[in-house]
Structure formats: structure tokens, C-alpha cells
Structure 1
Amino acid sequence: MTKRIGILIWTALWMGTVACSSKKAPKQLFNGSTLEGWHMDVPAMDEDSTLADPFIVRDGMLVSLGEPRGHLITDEVYRNYRLEVEYRFPGEPGNCGVLVHASTPRALYDMFPQSIEVQMMHEHAGDFWCIVEDISVPDMEERRGPRDEWGIREGEKRRILNLTDGSEKPLGEWNRMVVEAVDDEVKVWVNGDMVNHGYDATATEGQIAVQAEGAEVEFRKLQLTPISSLSEGNP
């Protein structure tokens, strides 16, 4: 009996160790001091190398200055993860976005990498934009427009509206966006509200990118946590 109890205790301890070791630690995509792990793709700088970088580090934050327009892209490719982003527009509201499953650079309008954009534009946070990749949602015609106008390239209906209005904080306050990309699904929360859920995405892995698209945006958190399935729970 004593031996059996000892085996049960050992088994419980072993299983606990395995469970703990299987938890995947978050990764800080932005280290708070440099842009290590990222590279810029800014088309205007091809012609004029004297232009100031549109992405800088300031007061421990990653800042997209908005101009010249382009993207800050991770060096690494990611699949199956939860991305937590804390951001705000410190001045005038405007446009920006986080791109997931990014691959071929400058695939659209000689600017945007092939990807699925999760919109951060003020009052439109959580919209999807299809950039030479596609994704489906319920009520597709209501949220994307007439079916025969859908597309993933220039001049086609690439925008898929989000599910809610009013999820963003007032200007100047910090917003928390969570993007969960697992297999062919992408879910988005803004300040705790689920604002979009897409499925049948045509890409399931890629780089992550942040935009410079006309407005200054501050980021104080860009954290990625690997996950294995959607059943691990909501943020």
C-alpha cells in the first residue's frame, strides 16, 4: 500500500511538471528599448534615403510616426498565437493597423505586404482588410458588400466590417487589442469586446507587421503567446 501511494504521488508530481513545462511563455516582440527583431519596409526611402525613419523608440514605447508610409515587420514567421497590443493615438486620430500572416512585401499598391490586416483606424478598430489573402465571416454580404465585388486586390472590396461600435477608449487613452490566430481562424478583441471572428483564412502563418499610415500611434505592449488550440480560452 505504501509503495502504491508513493507511485501515485510520484505520478501526480510528474504530471504536474509536464503540465507546467507545456505552458508556453509569452514573447515580447518589442523589448522597450530597440527595434531588435524587426525590419522596416518603407518604399519612399528607396528613392530618398535621407527621410527620417517612421518607426522609432521613444520613452520606452514603439512609435509609428505615420510618415513616410510603410511597415515595420517581424524578422520571424509565427503560427498559432495570441497577440496582445496596447496602443493609443496621442494626438490627432487616424489610421494604422496590425497585419498578420504577412509574406510577400509590397504585394498591394506597391506598399502593403500580402497579409490580413486587423484595422486600428480610430472608430474602426477590428475591421479586417484582405491584402492578397482572404478570410470569411458570417453575414458576409452585409459586412463586405455585394458578392460579385469581393476581392483581395486593388479596386476590389477587401474590407470586412467589425461587429461592434464603441469598443475603443476615448482619444489619448490606451486600447488593448488581442488578435488570436489559430490555424485558419482569426479572432479579435478590443478592450474585452469580441469585435471580429474570421475563418477559412487563405494563410495560417507569416510575419507580423505594424503600419505607418498617416497618424502617430504609440505602442507600449506587443506580446505574443504561442497557443495550440482555441480551446485554451478567451483573453
Structure 2
Amino acid sequence: MKYLLKVALTLIVLISICCCKRAPEAASLFNGKDLRGWHMDVPEKDSIPESRDPFIVREGMLVSLGTPPGHLITDDSYTNYRLEVEYRFPGKPGNCGVLVHASTPRALYKMFPKSVEVQMMHENAGDFWCIVEDITTDNMVERRGPEADWGITEGKLRRIKNLTDDSEKPLGQWNSMTVECLEDEVKVWVNGDLVNHGYKATARQGQIAIQAEGAEVEFRKLVLQPIKKLTD
């Protein structure tokens, strides 16, 4: 009887271990000290190597100085994750973006890597920009323009407007942005508001990139949390 009880308890423990999956752990993509885990792609530096680096670490923050234009790209590629970003424009309002599913460098205008951009431009945070990749949303004609002009390369309608106009905080304050990439979907929240939801994305994995696109932007949080489908 004791033997059977011991066997039963052992089976219960084993079943519990098998059935309980640990939640994937979140990890910061920025260590607060240097740009380890990232690399820059700045076309200007091909011909002018002494040009300044547009991405630096300052007072524990990752800073995009805005110029010369280029991208800071993760060394690793990712799929099925939630990216938490906290950023602000400390001076003048301007342009920047987080690129997901990034791959081929300089695929557009000999500058932008193949990707789906999540816009951070002041008063436009959450727009999608299609960069040699594509994504679908509801109300596409209303938000992207005439279907005949849609495209993913130079000269095409690549912008898909976000769903809200008032989710950003005043200039100089910190904004939170969450980008969830799961299978072929991309969802974006700005300060808790769902501002975009795309699906049928033509890419499901890739690197993550930050832009230098004219304005200084500070980042104090870049945390990635792996996620799984509920059916897993």
C-alpha cells in the first residue's frame, strides 16, 4: 500500500512538472552602459568614416542623436515577443521609429532595412510604415489611401495611419510604447491605448532596429518578453 501511494505521488509530481510551463523571462535589450548586442548601419560613414556615431549612451539612457541618419540594429533576431519601450523627445519634436522583423539592410532608399516600422514621430506614434514588407489592417483604404497606390517600395503608399490622435504625452514627457509581434500580427499600444493592429504580415521574425532620423530621442527602457500562442 505504501509502495502504491509513493508511486501515485511520484506520478502526480511528474504530471505537474510536465503540465506547468515556466513563463518566458523578460530581458532588457539595453544594459544601460554600452551598445553591446547592437550594431549601427549608417550609410554616411561609408564615405566619411569620421562622422559621429548617431547612437550613444548618456546618463544610463540609449540616445538617438538623429544625425547622421541610420539605424541601430540588434545582433539577434526575434519572433513572438512583446517589446516594451519608454522614450521621449527631450528637445524639439521630430521623427524616429522602432522597426520590427528587420532583415536586409538598406533595402529602401539605400537607407532603411526591410522591415515593418512602428512610427514614433511626434503626434503620429503608432503608424505603420511598410518597408519592403507588408501588413494589413482594417479600414485600409481610409487609413492608407487608394488601393491602386499601395506598395512597399519607393513612391508607393506605405504609411498606414494609427487609430488615435491623442495618445501621446506632451513634448518632453516619457511615453510608453508596447509592440506585440505574434505570428503574423503586430499590435501597438501607446500609453495604454491600442493604436494599431496589423495582420497578415509578410514577415514573422527578424531583428529590431531604432532609427536616427533627424531628431534626438532618449530611450530609458527596451525590454523584450517572449510570448507564445495560447494553443501552445
In structure 2, runs of 5+ residues without a counterpart are none
Tell me if structure 2 keeps the 8 A contact 1:25–1:226.
yes
Q: 1:192 aligns to what?
A: 192
Please give the alpha-carbon distance, in whole angstroms, between the structure 1 residues aligned to 2:229 and 2:35: 30
Tell me if structure 2 keeps the 8 A contact 1:182–1:230.
no
The DSSP-based 3-state class of the residue aligned with 2:205 is: coil
**One-letter amino acid matched to 1:96:** C
Closer/same/farther in 2, CA of residues 8 and 141 from structure 1, 3 Å limit: farther
**One-letter amino acid matched to 2:16:** M
Q: 2:214 aligns to what?
A: 214
Runs of 4+ with >3 A deviation: 1-10
Kindly provide the CA deviation profile for residues 144-176 of structure 1, in whole angstroms up to 9, marking residues without a partner as x.
Answer: 000000000001000000001110111111111
The DSSP-based 3-state class of the residue aligned with 2:222 is: strand
Q: 2:40 aligns to what?
A: 40
Tell me if structure 2 keeps the 8 A contact 1:104–1:113.
yes
C-alpha deviation, 1:27, in angstroms: 1.4
Q: 1:156 aligns to what?
A: 156
Please give the alpha-carbon distance, in whole angstroms, between the structure 2 residues aligned to 1:8 and 1:173: 55
C-alpha deviation, 1:15, in angstroms: 2.0
C-alpha deviation, 1:103, in angstroms: 0.4
Kindly provide the CA deviation profile for residues 13-53 of structure 1, in whole angstroms up to 9, marking residues without a partner as x.
Answer: 8626863x521001110011010000000001111011110
Kindly provide the CA deviation profile for residues 148-205 of structure 1, in whole angstroms up to 9, marking residues without a partner as x.
Answer: 0000000100000000111011111111100000110000000100000000000000
Please give the alpha-carbon distance, in whole angstroms, between the structure 2 residues aligned to 1:148 and 1:230: 37
Q: 1:92 aligns to what?
A: 92
CA RMSD of aligned residues (A): 1.9
C-alpha deviation, 1:7, in angstroms: 3.6
Calculate the TM-score normalised by the size of structure 1: 0.93
Tell me if structure 2 keeps the 8 A contact 1:81–1:224.
yes
Q: 1:26 aligns to what?
A: 26
Kindly provide the CA deviation profile for residues 98-132 of structure 1, in whole angstroms up to 9, marking residues without a partner as x.
Answer: 00000000000000000000000000000000000
Please give the alpha-carbon distance, in whole angstroms, between the structure 2 residues aligned to 1:89 and 1:133: 28
Please give the alpha-carbon distance, in whole angstroms, between the structure 2 residues aligned to 1:15 and 1:162: 44
In structure 1, runs of 5+ residues without a counterpart are none
Alignment of 1:68-217 (within 5 A): 68-217=68-217
Please give the alpha-carbon distance, in whole angstroms, between the structure 2 residues aligned to 1:230 and 1:168: 31
Identical columns (%): 67
The DSSP-based 3-state class of the residue aligned with 1:45 is: helix
Tell me if structure 2 keeps the 8 A contact 1:93–1:171.
yes
Tell me if structure 2 keeps the 8 A contact 1:81–1:227.
yes
**One-letter amino acid matched to 1:145:** G
Larger mean Cα displacement after TM superposition, 6-15 or 136-145: 6-15
Closer/same/farther in 2, CA of residues 17 and 137 from structure 1, 3 Å limit: same
Q: 1:60 aligns to what?
A: 60
